[in-house]
Amino acid sequence: MFKVAAVAGYKKSGKTEVIERLVKELIERGYRVGTVKHVPHAEFTLDRPGTDTWRHAQAGSKTIVFVSPEEFATLEKRRVDLSEVLLSLRDLDFVILEGFRESENIAKIMIARNENEASELDDEFTVGFIGHGVKGKPVLGRGDVGALADLIERKAIPPVGGINCGECGYGSCREFAIAAIAGKAPKEGCRTLHGGITLAVDGKRIPLKPFMQDLIAGTIGGMLSSLKGAKGNEIKIEVRRYEG
């Protein structure tokens, strides 16, 4: 599972420029990197009014796929939370968020233009600052991309399940994330996401408590034990429900 960190700050603080440099540095270190950009404007759309794909959406299409010779993109017309977006990503080592300054359970680097901004932006998940900061947390310059990448490597953690199951030994996902970011808990300690069972419904990843994971694994293992050729370490089952 990839690790997540955010570069956040107020509008026009230079987040994109910092992320450009950070992504290049992480890639040079051999990592596969993805990014997620927060756009707060309710009327924003990636599609341009008047284009064919925009007309598809205006007609009522909920999922529009753009396919060109060099790339493709999927545009879904629905609300989504950050956790669903993160759990849909694959084949990455790091995911860097631009924005999401109020998010929790994620290590955050805040860009502050003065001490007052730094104090306003600081929270329990802030692991460092760029420009100006608060006492006790590292403050980097905008050109300190190597030190920034080092900080991300040390502090970023994988997404957590968000169901407060307590299997990690902490009372909540928030408590676990704070401990993991501080290095006081294993970064892969969220068993709801990093156990042996992965559940996705219509492409949406569903966290499972360890008890449910063990129950599913035991049930399926017992069912398959009598089938010829069904032995192995990795089992994939696809279920389609038809109603009507």
pLDDT confidence of residue 195? 64
Residue 239 has pLDDT above 70, yes or no: yes
Q: What would the mean pLDDT of 194-214 be, rounded to a whole number?
A: 70
The rounded distance, in Å, linking the Cα atoms of 161 and 167 is 11
Provide the token pair at 196. 């042996």
Confidence of residue 244 (pLDDT cuts 50, 70, 90): low
Query: Which residues face 74 on adjacent strands?
Result: 65
Greater pLDDT, 166 or 143: 143
User: What sign does the CA torsion over 45, 51, 57, 58 have?
Assistant: positive
Which candidate, 231, 105, 78, places its Cα nearest to that of 160?
105
% of the chain surpassing 70 pLDDT: 93
Sign of CA dihedral 100, 18, 21, 128: negative
How many angstroms separate the CA atoms of 117 and 100, rounded? 16
Distance of alpha carbon 24 from alpha carbon 19, whole angstroms:
8
Q: Beta-carbon neighbour count of residue 147 at 10 Å?
A: 13
Amino acid at 187: K
Return the pLDDT at 3. 95
Which residue intervals of the chain bear CATH 3.40.50.300? Answer: 3-48+78-159
The fold of the 3-48+78-159 domain, in CATH, is Rossmann fold (3.40.50)
Q: Model confidence over 64-112: pLDDT tens digits?
A: 898 889 888 888 888 888 888 888 888 999 999 999 999 999 999 999 9
Please tell me the distance from the alpha carbon of residue 1 to that of residue 113, in angstroms, as a whole number. 34
As a whole-number percent, the residues of the chain with pLDDT over 90 amount to 45
Backbone phi, then psi, for 127, in 5-degree steps? -105, -10
Smallest CA-to-CA distance from 161 within 194, 116, 121 is with: 194
Average pLDDT over the chain reads 87
What digits encode the pLDDT tens for the residues 174-197?
A: 999 999 999 999 888 877 776 667
Inter-residue contact 157 to 180 (CB < 8 Å) = yes
Q: Are 111 and 131 a contacting pair, CB within 8 Å?
A: yes
- In our burial notation (b when 16+ CB lie closer than 10 A, e otherwise), range 159-169 reads bbbbbbbebbe
pLDDT of residue 203: 66
- The pLDDT score that the predictor gives to residue 226 is 76
The per-residue pLDDT for range 42-68, each reduced to its tens digit, is 677 777 888 888 889 889 898 889 888
25 pLDDT above the threshold of 90:
yes
Q: Is the dihedral of CA 187, 24, 83, 118 positive or negative?
A: positive
Task: Label residue 71 exposed, middle or buried (CB < 10 Å: 0-12, 13-18, 19+).
Answer: exposed
| Residue-level pLDDT at 149 | 97
Sign of CA dihedral 237, 166, 6, 79: positive
